[in-house]
Each structure stands twice: as C-alpha cells, then as structure tokens.
Structure 1
Amino acid sequence: MATAKKTATRKTAAKKTVSKAGTSSPKAKRAKPAPASTSAKEAAPQDAAVEAFIAKLESSQQDLVRALASLIAAEAPKASAYVKWGHPLWDQAGPFVLVKPAKAHVTVGFWRGGQMRDAENLLEGEGTGMKYVRIPSGQQPPTGLAGLVREAVALNEKHGDPLKR
C-alpha cells in the first residue's frame, strides 16, 4: 500500500512539473520576441524568417526582394524584421515598411507614406496613410528608396506606432 501511494505522489509531482513548464497547458503564455539588436549574430533569427520567405519566391523575384531587404536593413539597422500578414515587414517604434511580391512586381509599402516628403515622386496611393512604390520584377530598387526608408523610421520615432491611433 505504501508503494502505491509513493507511485501516485510521483505521478502528481510529474504533472506539476509539466504544468509549471507550460508545455502541456493550452493557456501557457507565449514568449515575447526579443528586442531588435544591432549585432548581426543576435538579429539572425529575424533575418532567417525573411530569408526563408525569400527562398520560397520565384527565382525572378528573389534577387529584388533580397536587395530590398538588404537596403532596409542598411538604412534601419535597429529595426526588427519578420514575416507577418503574409509578407516581410520591418518594425522600429511600430511597423514602417513592408515588402509584398506579386507576379509582375514587388510592392514596397510605407505605413506613413502620406506624411512623407517624397522628393523623387516615387510613392503611389491616395490619402494620408499607406503609400507604396511598385518595382517591376527584374529591376533594381530606385535610388530614392533609401531616403524613404530613413524618413519612415524617423516618422515612427517621432509619432510612435502607426497602428495605434
């Protein structure tokens, strides 16, 4: 009888251990993503998600999307890169730019595009919110895109997350 009681106690302790680890509980809290880092080693997991996204694209679009990801990373080194809503986006004080491939072009969307100066008249779209640049597949990003990325980050730093109104 003492043996049965010890076995039951061990099973209960094992259940508590699993519950504390959060592996069996559907209500377990999800870990928050790590904050953006400027070191390439720490930023690799976020970049890996974007790279995995790029690897699934048609070969004709891979070079353009990879060039855009590199440009954005160079102009916004503190930004977090991840895949959300079916495409890569970059976030610094809120999302500021997305890259969305289509069959014949790649769209680069800016959440605060309507507030941007756009000296080279690259942005398309109406209103004060999202505006975008369409780049035909096989072409390189326009030279003025780097300035738009920097301005988008600056607007987010000044005004905060564009999704929180």
Structure 2
Amino acid sequence: MDAWFERYDNPQHDLVMAVRDAVLEADDRVTETIKWQAPTFAYRGNIASFFPKAKAHASLMFHRGAELPDPEGLLEGEGETSRVAKFADADDLERKRAALQGLVRAWIAARDAD
C-alpha cells in the first residue's frame, strides 16, 4: 500500500491519505489492498475503493453502498448497487468524518450479523 501511495501523483494526494486514515480508524479490522488498480478497503468483502483519477476531490466508491444506512446523506448515486462519497478538501472531510466512519461500521456490523 505504501508503495502505491508513494507513486500516486495527484493534486488530491494529501486528502486521499486523510480519507484513508479516517476509514482505517473506523475499525481496526478493516484491511486494505490494491484491486482494480486502486486502494480498496475490505472486511469480509470489499467495502470501498478510491477512484484515483479524480483530481477535483477525493472520491471513494462504496461497492454495495445502496445497502448501507446513510442517515447523513453522504453517499451519492442512484444505481442499484454502488454509491460514492466525495470529499472536496480537509474541512469537508472533517465535517463528513463521522458519517464516513458510520458507513464503514455499518458494513462491518452487517457482515458480523451474517
């Protein structure tokens, strides 16, 4: 993972790293790997992946986001399965941190209930 991030040349590099930290801080059981040429978070299945080519914001796709409770309305999209969380800057991330971590925890709770 560290090698991927060292090579990641994007104006949103620091923001993507901050989002990464927020996701990993949500629960110590979350792991990360590179899938689809992007950092991907997992716990008993894929939780979310970065869209590394986004340059105007940090974009994190929740693979099965349509299944997750989203009381804060963080997730965008209307597809049957996936949803996207976008973060414009560090302040935006801080405003959305609790909602982001809530989504990760909701995924974990659902997997633990299976």
Contact 1:112-1:155 within 8 A present in 2 as well: no
Q: Is the 8 A contact 1:115 1:128 kept in 2?
A: no
Normalised TM-score (structure 1): 0.59
Tell me, yes or no, if the aligned pair for 2:75 and 2:85 is still in contact at 8 Å: yes
Change in 2 beyond 3 A, CA 1:140/1:56? farther
1:91 equivalent to 2:61? Answer no
Aligned to 2:110, the other structure's residue is in SS state helix
Q: Which runs of 5+ in 2 are unaligned?
A: none
Q: Which residue number in structure 1 is paired with residue 56 of structure 2?
A: 104
**How far apart are the structure 1 equivalents of 2:77 and 2:89?**
20
Match of 1:148 in 2: 103
Does residue 61 of the first structure (1) align with residue 12 of the second (2)? yes
- Answer 1 or 2: higher relative contact order, Cα 8 Å, separation at least 6: 2
Q: Given that residues 10 and 55 in structure 2 are in contact (C-alpha distance below 8 angstroms), is that contact kept between their aligned partners in structure 1?
A: no
Task: Output the amino acid matched with 1:75.
Answer: A
Sort the Cα spacing of 1:55 and 1:63 in 2 relative to 1 into closer, same or farther, 3 A. Answer: same
Distance 2:89 2:6 in 1: 16
> For 2:42 and 2:107, how far apart are their aligned partners in 1?
10
* Shift in CA distance, 63/157, structure 1 to aligned 2, threshold 3 Å: same
Provide the alpha-carbon RMSD of the alignment. Answer: 2.0
- Structure ID, larger Rg: 1
Aligned to 1:158: 113
- Deviation of residue 83 (structure 1)? 0.9
Report the identity percentage.
Answer: 29
User: In the aligned structure 1, how far is the partner of 2:113 from the partner of 2:79?
Assistant: 20
Contact 2:63/2:81, CA 8 A, preserved across alignment: yes
Deviates more, 1:130-139 or 1:102-111: 130-139
